[in-house]
Structure 1
Amino acid sequence: MKIGYARVSTQDQDNAMQLIALKEDGCKRIFEEKASGAKFDRPILWQCIESLKTGDQLVFYKLDRVARSLSDLLQILERVEKSGASIKSLTEPIDTGSAAGRLMLQILGAMAEFERSLIRERSIAGQREARARGKQFGRPLSVDEATASAIVDEYLTGLHTLKGVAQRFGVSPSVVKRLVYKKTKPSYRS
Structure 2
Amino acid sequence: MRVGYVRCSTIEQNEARQLKMMEEQKAEKLFIDKASGKNTDRTAFKEMMAFVRAGDMVIVESISRIARNTRDLLSIVSELTEKGVEFVSLKESIDTTTPQGRFMLTVFGALAELERENILERQREGIEIAKGEGKYKGRKPLDLDETQFKAVCTRWRAGEITATAAMQEVGLKPNTFYRRVKDLGL
Taking the aligned partners of 1:108 and 1:182, their CA distance within structure 2 comes to 44
Does the 8 Å CA contact 1:37/1:65 hold for their aligned counterparts?
A: yes
Structure 1 unaligned blocks of 5 or more = 167-172
Taking the aligned partners of 2:92 and 2:63, their CA distance within structure 1 comes to 8
Percent of aligned positions that are identical: 30
1:27 and 2:27 aligned: yes
Does the 8 Å CA contact 1:152/1:180 hold for their aligned counterparts?
A: no
Does the 8 Å CA contact 2:52/2:85 hold for their aligned counterparts?
A: no
What are the equivalent positions in structure 2 for 1:12-161 lying under 5 Å apart? Answer: 12-49=12-49, 50-54=51-55, 56-131=56-131, 135-139=136-140, 161=166
Change (3 A) 1:34 1:163: closer
Change (3 A) 1:183 1:157: closer
Normalising by structure 1, report the TM-score: 0.70
SS at match of 1:87: strand
SS at match of 1:139: coil
Taking the aligned partners of 2:177 and 2:79, their CA distance within structure 1 comes to 46
The 10-residue stretch of structure 1 (32-41 or 112-121) with the greater mean CA deviation from structure 2: 32-41
What is the RMSD of the two structures over their aligned residues, measured on CA atoms? Answer: 3.4
Q: How many matched pairs?
A: 174
TM-superposed CA distance for 1:107, in Å, is: 0.6
Normalising by structure 2, report the TM-score: 0.71
Does the 8 Å CA contact 1:4/1:27 hold for their aligned counterparts?
A: yes
Structure 2 unaligned blocks of 5 or more = none
SS at match of 2:7: strand
